[in-house]
Structure formats: structure tokens, C-alpha cells
Structure 1
Amino acid sequence: MKDQFIAEHHIYQLLQQVGINTPKHVFWDHHNLASLKSALLGSFTDNSPVVLKGMADNLWHKSENGALHFTSFQYEKIMDDSIQMQQRVSSQFDWIGSLLTEKVNFKTAQGAPCEIFVSIQRDKCCGSIIHMGFGGVLAEDWAKQLKDPILLWPTSVYQPQEALQELKNHWLGKILLGQTRLDKPLLNEKALFEFLIQLWSLDEIMENNHIQLIEVNPFVVDQQGELVALDGVGLISENSHQESCSVPFEDQSFLHPKRIALAGVSDKKGNIGRMILENIAHSKLQHENILIIKPDRETYQGYHCLTSVEDLQAVPVDVLILALPAKITIEMIEQLCHQNTAYQIKGTKVVYIVAGGIGDGADLLGYGDRLKKFIQQKRANNQWCPAIVGPNGLGMLLSPLQLNTLFIPQKKLNVKFSENSHVALISQSGAFLITRLSRNSNLSLKYGFSIGNQMDMKMSDFIALMYRDKSVRVLGLYVEGFVEGDVCAISKLVKQFRQQDRHVIIYKGGRSLLGQTAAAGHTGAMTGDYLLQKRLLGKAGSVMVETFNQFNTVFKWMTAYPDLKELGKLAIITNAGYETVGSVDSLGDNDSHVLYTLNDENRKNLTKILESHQLNGLVSPCNPLDLTPMANEKAYYDCIEALFKFGAGVIIVGLVPLSEQLDTFQLSEAEQFALRLKKLAQQTQSLIGIVIDAGVPYQQYKAVFEEQGFPVFDGMDMAILGINVLKNCN
């Protein structure tokens, strides 16, 4: 179906259905000319101010195309003007008819904009979004002057009451409610709230009528204090948003599989299947519950072999891993799903596809389309089909089973398992997953998933899986593309995470045009409007990061403190002058307010502590606090303890280990210091981050603090970066 333009007179009808006020108006075309005169004379009095508008197909901007005329009502003159307007507009657009409205006398604010822009858009990727900002002909100019010119409310995760609170804190809401200097209110809070409710109701009508867009610019407040829509357009489209459907699967099949089968194992050097098998062999799975599909062998390295996937009917598994070329992988899935439907027990609950070249830039033979159509047909016909992960999936990590299905050798990546971990990481890129583990040797994941191209199992399916496991407090996501409609589903899940004080950190790749091209070639990623995605996911409560450094630092802070509810004021303590200077430079003038401000009493008490350590002549009691290289662990601890008592909630501790005062080689004092800091952080329910800006000889010194669970950074700027991101997110 071709997209269909909605002209203003029809927009008025839609608005009136939900009780939104429109100007008094009369529309006419060649069908209602007989009753036109009586309609006009019954609606308008002579010489009353009116606005004549031309309605034409795809005429989005009337004033720029000669379709808008302010005048006074005189019947004959209006008819002449409308004929001239039709002739003028018809040369460029398909004419629909004429619309005459009253000229609304609206309230104004002193020296401030008071017209409102509203757009409701049903985006294919993100669902329904209500935008609100300053309207009128100067809308774009005002937007350039404001940090957050447009308020944005995804209706899937926001309700009118929540929107009202944000609007009241925005300049638009302050002007409307008279909360700016010298201004009187244009309307009351009750009327504003009722208007928001009407917008949510309008969104429901749009969904039922396949309306993709309604845009009104502007709304104004009339002399009675009621909002009135002056100008509007819209669009009908059959291709509007459809939220993604979840894939049916059992949580236990993913998180606690009892039996696994693997296809694609051989004795060839570098064989991916064999590397996966070697990793699986170290898991808690019973030997007999690891099966190999290999038609020419009865056993392989002591594991029982099956001749084909059809044999899985007799010995069904939870997970089938296919480490095979693309063509054979597709054929094996088709064979698996075509098994005799008389069997109630199917061969597997989950299929994990390792191969690339299926639905990505390397797929030149249409394997991706073939597999996608096959899965869709099975699901549409209510026929059995396992949950399919991938293609291009590197593997998964399950700490409860110490299960590693990655095709990375243990000597390259020694995965640290921990059943008590509260952290999970889901990544479209397998390389992103393993490099986070490699660069952070202290990171232990409860679950890690490389999900590849999302041909069947989508990002939202995995997030829902993690949401249902309440032990997961921190969830990191690396996304290159969202499946259509999945952003909306993910936003709902993120909001549910945040309602339980659980945390979601998201890096979205493929934001630039070049990045989109690279993502499509790598994982066949579907991209979209990143700004819209960012605002939707951010408003739902996720921490949206823009760089890998941001992800690494935020993830490190959050994994160390998974129960974090809010950040307190920041204090910085170090033994190097460059770190005190660099820390405030990293904060910048705009974020310097996050530093805890010492009062006179604080300074007095801190001076006493410095005197007790014979540092009073060297150190000034301030924040950041430069203890100089003369400070030992005891001086550090006493100052840190005092800063927490004063009221700081986060302390970054810079330890340049080249000082002779610090125990950086024997490590007995360092270990005692780290243990005392851990107890202090627990007692005060506060955050401590450690910065050790030094080279290879001090890796063991860093490990002392990592073993106590502290986030350890290589530079002060990295520690500050994470705090900055967390402070500035929702």
C-alpha cells in the first residue's frame, strides 16, 4: 500500500475524537458546494478574522507554497481567494479542497516562545514516540538555543504522569505554567495533564488506523486557557511499527543445559569444532551428555558419536552447536525440523550457529533469506522449530556449569567462572565479548552470549532471559543493529530492570554511515535512527555509552558495585600533583559540581589528620587532595575514612606506586590496606575506585586491589570518565 497523506481537515477530525480543541472551521471541495454558503455564514460573521488554507496531497508546508492566507471574512471575497489559491497550488500539487478557520486569539508570554510543536510518530524500529517542543515559525531557531529542545516520550515505556513531570522541568513547561520570572501562567497543570492524556489516546487511534505520523505545529493556549491545534498534517502507512515477537524457548535450555550435541568436529589443525569441544570438556557436564554428530565414527576422543541430527530424536539435547560451513548448516537445520512430526520429543531445544556467511555481507548465495523464510514459515504454521542463535555466533559462557562453548583456546583466553557473579554480557560481536574478558582479567561473568546476526533469537529475547534471572544485577550490551521493532521491546525490559535497581549498559555500533556499512558486512546488522534509539533507550533507564573507553570504565564501575542506587559527591585523593590537576581537567567546568566541597570544619579535621602523619607542611586540605609521595597506606586510609565521614559518596584513590612510602613489592601492607578499604566501602555503602598509573612491574600490585573487587584503572582520566557518564545518564 502506498503511503497516504493526511490533510489538516482530517487531522482536526482525529484530534476531536480524543477531545483536543480545534479552531472553528469549514472545509469544502466540489462535493459540498451546494451547502457551502450556509455553512460559512453560519460559522463566521462579517469581517471576523479568519485563515484560508489550501488542502492538497503531500502539501506539508502551506505558507511556503502559497496555501495560507490571513484575511477577514466576507463570503464573496473568500470564494474568490479560494479559487485563486486553488489555481496557484494546483500547478504543483493535487488539489483536495479549501479550509477556512477562525483566527484564534491566543495567550503569549513576555519575551518567550509559547507555541507548541507536537509530533506522534510510529517508527518501524522504535515504536510510537511523542515529541514535544517549542513550535511556530521560529521552532528551529529556539531548538538551536536549548540543550534539550525536544521532549521525547516513547509511549511503550512512558505514561502521561511521567511525561508531565519532565515537561514541568523543561523550559516549555515552565513558560506554560508561569514558572519563569515575571510571567503569568498560560494554563493550569490540570489542563496540561489532560492534554497529555489526550495525546496518548490519539496514539491508540493511530495504531488502530495504521497512521504512521501526526504532526501539529503549533498548538496554542486560547484566552480560556485551553490548548488549541492550529495546523496539522499526517501520514497513513501499512508499514508502520510492529513490535518484535519473542521466540519461544525454555530458560533452562539456555542457562542450565543438561546435554549438548556438537557438529563439525574433525582432526584438522585449527578446526573450530574441535576447539569448542576442548572447552566444553572442562565443564561440569557429564561425559555421556556431550554428543558428537559425526557419521563416520562411533566415538571421537571418547565421546559418543551420532550419524545425523535425526538420531537426536532418540537422545534429545538442550543445545545443538553447528560448527559447519554455511550450506551444510542450513541443510542440517532443515533436516532437523523435517523430522517425523509423530514424535512428541524433538531433537533439540536450541540451535547455535557458528558459521558466518549467512545473511551478512559475505552471503552471496542467499542462505540468510533461505533460513529466515524457513523459520518464519515454521512459526507461522505453528510447526516445531528450535530457538536458533546466530548465525555468526562465537559461543556462550555459563558460570553455573563452568561451560565455555567459544572457539577460542584456553591458552588464548582463560575464562574466569563465578557462580556468584551478578554480571552478564550480551554481544552481537564475539570479538567484543572476548576482548572485554581479556583486557579485564578480574572480570567474571555469570553469563556471556555472542548472539551474531539475530536471525531468530533477538537481543530482546536474551535480555528477557537475563531479566528473569534475578541474580543478574548488571547487564552489558554490544549492539550493531536492532531487529525491526526490537528497540521498543528492549526499552520495556530496560525499564523493568531499572525498577528493580538493576543496571543496563549499552554500546550501539554502526552509528555513522561508515559504521553502518561495516556492521552490515560483519553481522548483517539492521541499523536505524541512532539518535531516536539513544533517547528511547536512555529514557527507559539504560546507560548509553558512545565509545569503547566509556563502556569499559562504566562497566568496570558497575560490575564492582552492582547494587548501586545513586552516586554521591566525588572526592579524589592521590600522591601525585599531575593527577589532582588532571582529575579536575577531566571533570571539566560543566561537571565540577560533582566534587564534594569541603567546609571549614572539614578542613580543620583534615588538617589534624595530616598533622598526625607529619604532612601538614606539605599538603593543603582540599579536594582533590594531593598527599604527595610522602604518604603511606595509613595516611591514605585515615584521609579516605574522613572524606566519607564528611559526606563524600565516591572516592577515587590514585596510587602512583613508585613512591618508597607504598608497599608495592612485598605487598603485605598493600593487602592489608586493600582489605581495610573494602570493609570501609561496605560499611559506608560508598564507592572506591583505584587508579594505578604504572607499567608492567606493578601488575601484581594492581591485582591486590582487583582481588578485593575494586575497579582498578590505568589512568585518572579513565576513572573520572566512568563517573562522568554515570552522573550524566538518567
Structure 2
Amino acid sequence: MALDFSLDEGELRLAESFKAIIAPATAQKREALTETEGLAMLEAMGIATPKRILVRSSSEIESILLSGGHEKIAQRNAFDFQGAKLVVKVISPDILHKTEIGGVALIQNDAESIIKTVGEMERRFASYRVDGYTVNEFVQFEPRLGHEIIFGYRFAPDFGPLVSFGPGGIYTEYLAAKFKPGESTITLSPFAATREFVKSLLSHNVVAGLVSAGLRNTKPSIDIDRLVDAIMAFLSAAKALASCGISEFEVNPMVIRSTEASLVALDCLVKLKDFSSSGLVYQKGTVPYNAAQASRPVSTIDKILKPRSAAIIGVSEKGLNNGRIILRNLLENGFDASKIYVIKPGAERIDGCRCVPDVVSLPEKVDLFILVIPASGTPETLAQIAQMDKAWSVILIPGGLEEKSGSHMLIDRMKKALQEARGQGKGPLINGGNCLGIRSVPGKYNTLFIPEEKLPMPRGKVAPLALLSQSGAFGITRISKHPDINPKYILTLGNQMDLTIGDYLEYLAGDEAIRVFAVYVEGFKALDGLKTFKAAKEIVESGRSLILYRAGRTSAGAGAAASHTASIAGDYAVTKALFESIGAMVCDSLDEFDDAIRTFTLLEGRKAKGNRLGALSNAGFECVAFADNLGGMKLADFSDRTNAILSGVLKDAGISDIVDLHNPLDITPMGSDEAYDRSFRAIMADENTDIGIVGIVPFTSRMNSLSADPERHKEDVNAPDSISNRYGSLLAETDKPFVTVVDTGKLYDPLVHILEKHGIVVFRTADRALRMLERWRRSVAAR
């Protein structure tokens, strides 16, 4: 579903109110609003602020007080300044942080203190531009943890308008660092947040729990719905704020008024910024948007994913260069040779495919054009393709474009040609540059120009997996690490000069055959984080899985990502918070990403009915590790029937005297392949077992776990009755999910390989297995 950046009627009215308030700042070319301007914006949003009066000088406040006493302030300004204390603040466009330099004073509520304090501030800030001084009511609140809250809005170039909620006051940074994203601070997008969704997130939030759930022997300080109201006020205003050029709007603190159990904004900071340099367009009545994103003809992505005709430029007639490798890959994948054209002057055929001398000589508009020539020749070739309307899509392989300094002239020429062609209803979609391209099983092609002997492609049953990676090397590394998983699509995007992660994900979300989406991203193009997020939300809500690894999460990593793929660095914490809030799995490490690919793909279609774990191993340490890493699972209580079966297995194996029946079951190294098989089958068949794990410590001579070597031993891990093949049969017979652990060195890799050939998830340590199994279980249970 395309993003709608237009404002509705209510948002338009709010935007007009905001524009009137910020008009002086805009006229003065200020980058921030004064506090009074910010408070006026809050009031326009329906957020309560302290009662106050603005005076220009100490002489003005003295005149007011002397003309009728302190009571006159209330009469002339309709404010009630009852209470023993008042707060005086300096108002200046040059002073954003007042407290640190003496711009805020808590004083006694009497005329002498007011006049004296304003006079002192006049002298202190004589060198600043000062609009005046506010005399504010003192809002009483309990200075306890959770009672000072931060509400925030900001515009991020990759995600657009965002709203945040978390601990305020002096606790902001401390608690944010101590808790996981979502536990103390939540981040929301106005494009994907309903009231019910906000309330569900608050139910797991530390701040909301402290003030609305009530701790032991205490009553809730505020109803959770009042917190939701305030967040919804920011969400409802977010698009209007963005349309007015507001880049940041922070309320810190928002406090809970002791006398009314209501929220009051005590202070705010509002900043302005023009994001045109990030590729965004400002238009009346809309949120700033990416014009290139809006104009891309993404409805024709099927041409690049499932092409019926293709052309390649950059193929060597004699040697085996990248272009020749790609040509052969297409042919080996079953692409129709009669529909492949090679741009090669002076040649008639290469590998049986017809050659033409130049782009203009192509006999038809091809679905896919693969460009494998040096960067210097890319702009002219792409311009010809676009202007002559010779291709629906282009895979741009060469690097040295956006990521290399001094390449802007090349890029400008290329973009101009594409823009002109699209203005005429022409112009192809472009994948890349600086990429390895695409492997599409439905499209019968592979542009990953790695020789087969270096990177054998997965074969066999197509997995319900799509792998999207900005980095080509990362994509092919995943292929190498998961040789028995055959993804439907492997997409490497490089610089995302045209097509983006969000474009592909939005399109592929409509393919119900893809159940798992694994995404590696180093940085999003302008507003493509938002597009990716919206597509991910659709995927998760449809009962499917999205796995995300966001690289460039440190300043050093962001710099490396920018030089590698010309990406917007972005904010890792925001990415993590947004995607986890919708149920996507955000991985903290590359190992976790690989574990998730295996687990979510191979267990797809299975579902644990509960959280009861059945566990088996032949090593005591592993049984302890199972019990230590349950997470949200619990050990199943085996039924009497299962215990009877297990007793029989142990007796038949001659180990009933040394093995006690419990869960996890330690069958000891004395257990044979048959005992191992029968035991785990009984555990998995138990009605009290929802999910299983079995550890195989294969050193015992009673287990058939080595590759055949007749001169040294009689074992053969490939034998039909080996434990690996027995568990392969069990996987086919049960619909319950289970994983295995093989905590060994390289000698037992053949055992692991056979298990994986059967589609069994294998881990190399027990704790890693259970951590991922628990994340999978929670993810599936939430559907």
C-alpha cells in the first residue's frame, strides 16, 4: 500500500495554527522557537501548560503590581497564581537551555520576589536578545521516578515524523541506557499507530507501569488512558508538525499534577529545519516526501523478478569475465536462450545467444537489462536504454558510483536521463549500482557473478524465504553458510540508486508463498525506512516473519556504511524500537541473524501450542544448560504413559539402573542410536510437550556419528539407522517443532550436514539454541 503523505482536514487546520505561531521565527530565520511559542503549539494540540503571564521588563511587572497589587495579575490576565511559589523564566530565541545559565528561578509568591528576580535576569541577560520574562504558576508534582516524563516528536529523514515517550527529568539518559528499547522508551510512527496499539505498548513500559499500575501499597498516580491521550495528541499533530518544517519538539518534563492527576507540560524545546538537502520535497498540505520514491513505477517490479527476456552488456567473447559468468548463470538456471541478447559489436553469438552491436539494435524492449561495464560507461549506456525505451528494468552491477568521491557528474548525467525518460512514461527501474544483483528462482536467473566452484547455488525444494541485502558480499555469504536453504529470492541492492529495500519489501509482501523475509540494511534512502517499516508491519500482521539486521549502528559503522553504499546513517535505536514494536525480529549480531534465518525458515508451518519444553541429551552439562536457558518456556511434565515408554527404552538399553526419569532426560553416553531415537520420539509424542530440543554429544562408541572409514571403524553417519537419519524421519512424522544441538568440532560436521539436509535446525551450543528457540516461539505465539 502506497504511503499517503497528505494531511486530512483536521491536520490542515492544525498546520495553519502552527504556521501562525512559528511565523516570527520563520521571518527571523531562527532555527528554534522560544518557550512561549512552543507552549502555544502545545496548547493548540490540546496539551495542558502552566498558567503564566509574559512581561517585557521588570518595570512592566512593577507597574502591574503597583497599580493594583499582586491580585491584579490574576484579574487582568485571567490566571490564578494561588500557592506559595512561582517560577520565573527568561524568554529568548538565543537561549534554548535556560536552567544551566540561571534563566529559571523558583521564588516566593510575592511582589518583591517577582520584581527582584526579573530585574536580576535583565542584568544577567543584557547581551542576549530577550523577548521578555514569564511568571508561571508552580505546578505541584511528586518528584518520584516516573512522575517526570518526556514526550517528543522529531522528523527523521529515513522514517519521517516520529513520536517518543519515556522517562523525563534527570532519569532520561540513565533509564534509556539501562533498559531495552520499548521498556523505558517507546517510538511510534503516525503512519502506523492506533490508540489500541499505543495502549498495548504502554502495558509493557516501565514509566507507564510506575505511574498507572500502582506499586505495592500505593495507588496509581494517573489513569493509563491519560498517557494514551497525550501520546495520541502528538501522533495526531505529527504530520502537521512535519509539514511546517518542525524537526524536533521535545517536552521535558511533562509532569503529573498532584492535585488533579493530570498531565502538564512544564518546558519544551522546538527546532526548525529544512530537509530539502536530504532529497525531500515540501508541498502545501503534505508531509515532506521523496519525489523520486513517489514517481518510481514500482508496479513493474515483476519484470525484474520474473523476466521473460534479457540483455547483457559487458560479456567477454573469449575470457571468463563477470559478464560471461552472468550469461552462463542465466543459461544454467534454465533461462530461454532465444530470449537473451548480448550487446557485443562484431560478434554473432556467444554461448548460443544472439549478439547485437549496440543498445539501439535490440529487437525488442527486454524485461531485464544487465549492465556489467565499467562505471565510466554506465551513464551513457543507461541514458540510451532510458531514452530509447529498450528495457523495463536494469541491474546495474558496477561500483565506483555514488560511494566514490568525484563521481557526482556521472551520477547527475545518469539521473537526468532517467528523470527525462520517466517524464515521458518511459525509463526502467534500476537495481544497484555497486551490487551483485539478483538470484530469482521464479525468474530462472542469477546475476551473482561468482563461479559455481566458488559458490555452489542451493538446489532442491524452494524455501519460503526472501533475502534482501544492501551488501552483495553479505548476501552470498548467507548462501554459503546455509547451503541447504534455497531462497525464492536473493536480492542485493548496493547503493539503492533507484529501487530500494522498501520498494522490494512492499511488493514482495503480496507474495503469500514467502513466509520469511530476512533483511540486511546499512542505511535507508530518504523516507525508505518508513516504507520498509510499513511493509514489515503488513508482513507481520499477516502471520509471517520479518528478520532485520541493521548495520551502521555506531558512528564508525555509519561512516563505513556511507562510504560503502552511500546510505543515510540514521538512528539504530529508532530502527530497533520501531520494528520490534510491530513484532519483527531485530537481530543484535550476525550470528543471531543466521540463527534466525535457519530457525524461522526451517520451522515455518510449525507452531508450538504452548511453552512446555521436552528436552533430551546424553550429557549432564547440556541438560543443565537446557534448564538454565528456558526463557519464557517451562519444562514439560511427562505423562505416566510417556514415563512408562521411557522406562522401557532405558531398560532395553541396559541403563535403567543409572538413569533417573525427569526432564531434561540425560540418557548418558551409554544410550545407543535406537535408545536416543525412541526416547525423543516418546518425548515429542507426549501431549504435555509443545516444543522439543535434543542435544547430540556424539563421542560415544554407541552412536553412529562418524563418516564411513572402514579401515578405522565400522560407523557410517549416512546409514539409514544412524541417529541423523532417524531424526530426519521423526521430523517428517511430527508437526511439533524441535531443534538439535551438536556441540562439537569439525570432525562431526558430516553429522550436522545430514541433519540439515533433512531440514532440521542445528545449533552448536545449547544456550544459543534455546535463546533463538524462545524468540521463535514468542514470535509465532504472537500471531
TM exceeding 0.5:
yes
Q: CA deviation at 1:368?
A: 5.8
Mapped to 1, the partners of 2:479 and 2:763 lie a distance apart of: 15
- Partners of 1:377 and 1:260 in 2: CA distance: 23
Match of 1:508 among 550, 554, 577: 550
Aligned match of 2:6? none
Q: SS in structure 1 opposite 2:616? A: strand
Q: Distance in 2 between matches of 1:3 and 1:533?
A: 30
What is aligned with 2:187? Answer: 152
Distance 1:45 1:141, change over 3 A: same
Aligned to 1:526: 568
Q: Show the counterpart of 2:41.
A: 14
Whole-Å separation in 2 of the counterparts to 1:407 and 1:392? 13
Q: Distance in 2 between matches of 1:569 and 1:227?
A: 43
Partners in 2 of 1:479 and 1:672 — Cα distance?
38
Please name the residue that 2:314 is paired with. 264
Tell me whether 315-324 or 6-15 shows the greater mean CA deviation: 6-15
> Measured at CA, do residues 508 and 132 of structure 1 come closer, stay the same or move farther in structure 2, by a change above 3 Å?
same
TM-score (norm 2): 0.83
- Give 2:539's aligned residue: 497
Contact 1:175 1:183 in 2 (8 A): no
What SS does the corresponding residue of 2:154 show, helix, strand or coil?
strand
Q: CA deviation at 1:725?
A: 5.0
Aligned CA distance change for structure 1 residues 375 and 164 (closer, same or farther; 3 Å): farther
* Letter matched to residue 216 of structure 1: V
Give the match for residue 372 of structure 2: 323
Mean alpha-carbon deviation: is it higher for 500-509 or for 709-718? Answer: 709-718
**What corresponds to 1:624 in structure 2?**
664
Residue 343 of structure 1 is matched in structure 2 by none
1:293 equivalent to 2:343? Answer yes
Closer, same or farther: CA 479–379 of 1 in aligned 2, 3 Å: farther
Q: Is the 8 A contact 2:89 2:134 kept in 1?
A: yes
Deviations 1:612-638 (A, max 9, x none): 543322323334332122223332233
Q: How many pairs align? A: 712
Instruction: Tell me if structure 2 keeps the 8 A contact 1:571–1:648.
Output: yes
Measured in 1, the distance between the counterparts of 2:231 and 2:103 equals: 30
Matched, 1:200 2:252: no
In structure 2, the partner of 1:398 is 440
Q: What's the counterpart of residue 129 of structure 1?
A: 162
- Asked if 2 retains the 8 angstrom alpha-carbon contact of 1:65 and 1:89, the reply is no
> CA separation in 1, counterparts of 2:451 and 2:429?
27
157-166 or 328-337, which moves further after superposition? 157-166
Task: Give the one of 698, 704, 710 matched to 1:657.
Answer: 698
Residue of 544, 558, 573 corresponding to 2:600: 558
Residue 166 of structure 1 aligns with which residue? Answer: 201
CA deviation profile, 1:247-299 (whole Å, cap 9, x unmatched) = 31313202211001000011353411111111111133222101101122232
CA contact (8 A) 2:725 2:754 kept: no
CA gap of 1:232–1:412, structure 2 versus 1, over 3 A, is same
Residue 348 (structure 1) aligned with residue 383 (structure 2)? no
Question: In structure 1, the residue corresponding to 2:484 is in which secondary structure?
Answer: coil
**Aligned: 1:708 with 2:758:** yes
Which among 675, 681, 702 is matched to residue 641 of structure 1? 681
Cα distance in structure 1, aligned partners of 2:45 and 2:113: 34
**TM-score (structure 1 length as normaliser):** 0.89
* Change beyond 3 A, Cα 1:131–1:436: same
Shift of 1:205: 3.1
Contact 1:292 1:300 in 2 (8 A): yes
Measured in 2, the distance between the counterparts of 1:552 and 1:280 equals 28
Q: Is the 8 A contact 1:164 1:193 kept in 2?
A: yes
1:117 is matched with 150
Q: Is 2:721 the counterpart of 1:669?
A: yes
Matched AA of 1:136: G
Choose from 633, 637, 645 the match for 1:594.
Answer: 633
> What is the deviation of 1:555?
0.8
Distance 1:144 1:477 in 2: 26
Do the aligned partners of residues 437 and 532 (structure 1) sit closer, same or farther apart at CA in structure 2, a change above 3 Å counting? same
Q: Secondary structure at the match of 2:135?
A: strand
> Cα–Cα, structure 1 residues 689 and 141, in superposed 2: closer, same or farther, change >3 Å?
closer
Deviation at 1:655, TM superposition (A): 2.3
> Could you tell me whether the CA contact under 8 Å between 2:632 and 2:774 is conserved in 1?
no
Q: Which consecutive unaligned segments of at least 5 residues does structure 2 have?
A: 1-25, 66-71, 281-287, 706-715
- Aligned pairs (5 A) from 1:84-95: 84-91=120-127, 93-95=128-130
TM alignment of 1:173-572, pairs within 5 A: 173-222=208-257, 223-239=259-275, 242=288, 244=290, 245=293, 247-249=296-298, 250-312=300-362, 314-339=363-388, 346-361=389-404, 363-366=405-408, 369-370=411-412, 373-374=415-416, 377-378=419-420, 381=423, 384-417=426-459, 420-563=462-605, 568-572=611-615
Q: Select between 153-162 and 591-600 the one with higher mean Cα deviation.
A: 591-600
Q: What SS does the corresponding residue of 2:152 show, helix, strand or coil?
A: strand
2:673 and 2:475 mapped to 1: Cα distance?
36
Which amino acid in 2 is paired with 1:618?
Answer: I
Task: Report deviation, 1:418.
Answer: 5.0
Q: Which range is displaced more, 693-702 or 51-60?
A: 693-702
For 1:407, what is the secondary structure of its paired residue? coil
Q: 1:379 to 1:170 in 2, by over 3 A?
A: farther
SS across alignment from 1:267: coil
Q: Which of these residues, 716, 721, 732, is aligned with residue 679 of structure 1? A: 732
Aligned partners of 2:126, 2:578: CA distance in 1, in Å? 40
Q: Assess, with a 3 A threshold, how the Cα gap between structure 1 residues 386 and 30 changes in structure 2: closer, same or farther.
A: farther
Q: Is the 8 A contact 2:631 2:774 kept in 1?
A: no
2-structure distance, mates of 1:479, 1:572: 36
The change in CA–CA distance for 1:221 and 1:563 in structure 2 (over 3 A counts) is same
Contact 1:674 1:704 in 2 (8 A): no
**Alpha-carbon separation, structure 2, partners of 1:627 and 1:564:** 27
**Structure 1 pair 224–385 and aligned structure 2 pair: CA distance change class (3 A):** same
Cα 1:698–1:354, aligned 2, differ >3 Å: closer, same or farther?
A: same
- Of stretches 555-564 and 377-386 in structure 1, the one that deviates more from structure 2 is 377-386
Q: Secondary structure, in 3 states, of the residue corresponding to 1:196?
A: helix
Which residue of 1 is the match for residue 5 of structure 2?
A: none
Distance 2:697 2:557 in 1: 38
